[in-house]
Amino acid sequence: MELALILVVIVVALGFDYTNGFHDAANAIATSVSTRALSPRSALVMAAVMNLAGAFLGTAVASTVGKGIIAAPEGTAGLVVVLAALIGAIAWNLITWWFGMPSSSSHALIGGLVGAALASAGTVQWGGVVEKVVIPMVVSPVVGFVLAGLVMIGLLWLFKDARPNRVTRGFRHAQTVSAAAMALGHGLQDAQKTMGVIVLALVVGGYHEGFDVPWWVILISAGALSAGTAAGGWRIMRTLGRRIIDLDPPRGFAAEATASAVLYTTAFAFAAPISTTQTITSSILGVGATKRLTAVRWNVAGNIVVAWVLTLPMAALMAALSYWVLHLFLV
């Protein structure tokens, strides 16, 4: 029974990873596609390959997700908690994707873990949630907004005397690099969250000791994320690339370069599972504000912020409901 349930959890975790890929594909490529630096098909292929590569860069974030958010009970009860968390996260991902809202798959997963743990009367490690999730959730968008604005101001000053057409062409080429860096950072951050959940399932099921990530878990998580990315996320891409602000190549480059730097820093220095969605969106807002405040469609930005705020509690609620249903049949 437990082995079968572990296999189900792994399959559902890969399903979440796939939805993460097509839900968050826009994070890496929306700006490059909207500025015509890359064609949509080329951008998706590049993002899928770089997501795959990014998944192999580290496992610190996976350890945070696996052992730093909840303390799941052993055996079937713990596996049901993990399964319910994944179902809740997938449900919220699909709802926000349908409405074209770039919510955070990362926070959906973490909200799902917390909601399922609370529904099972289990232990939530609130210190880890606050330190590794809530604080980065608040700080990273602020850093992305401010830093992207400063980078854009610096670029405007550096190229103030250059010919606009030449600058635009140059930054279209530069965006190929910045978009690749963004996709690599997305793979580094988001594939690890699925790795952490799969390892957690193996630990509570008694098939793994410690929270080191086996190579095969890295491989299947990377593959599912990459496949989802290749499937594309056109609804969210339109929101990020066109509805917030009409981006030009220099601003697209500044947003992607800033967001990438934030993703790498939080993953390697703090092992914090931050939201790639929040990071790139706030960076887009930051570069847009340097054009003029009215250039940003703040009503769209406000709707995105509402989705950010709702993600943790709504994913937690859906996971809790899933747990209560699953508990009737499996525990």
Q: How far apart are CA 97 and CA 119, in angstroms?
A: 26
Confidence (pTM): 0.90
- 295 falls in which pLDDT band (50, 70, 90)? low
- pLDDT above 70 covers a percentage of the chain that reads 92
- 113 falls in which pLDDT band (50, 70, 90)? very high
Q: Is the pLDDT of residue 238 over 80?
A: no
pLDDT tens by residue, 41-91: 888 888 889 989 999 998 999 999 999 999 988 899 999 999 999 999 999
Q: How far apart are CA 259 and CA 147, in angstroms?
A: 9
Question: In the prediction, which pLDDT does 47 show?
Answer: 84
Give every CB contact of residue 88 below 8 A, 6+ residues apart in sequence: 108, 111, 112, 115, 116, 315, 316, 317, 318, 319, 320, 321, 322
Structure tokens given for 243:
């509805």
Average of per-residue pLDDT across 281-299 = 78
Domain ranges of the chain: 1-328
pLDDT tens by residue, 125-149: 999 999 989 999 889 989 999 999 9
Question: In the prediction, which pLDDT does 25 show?
Answer: 66
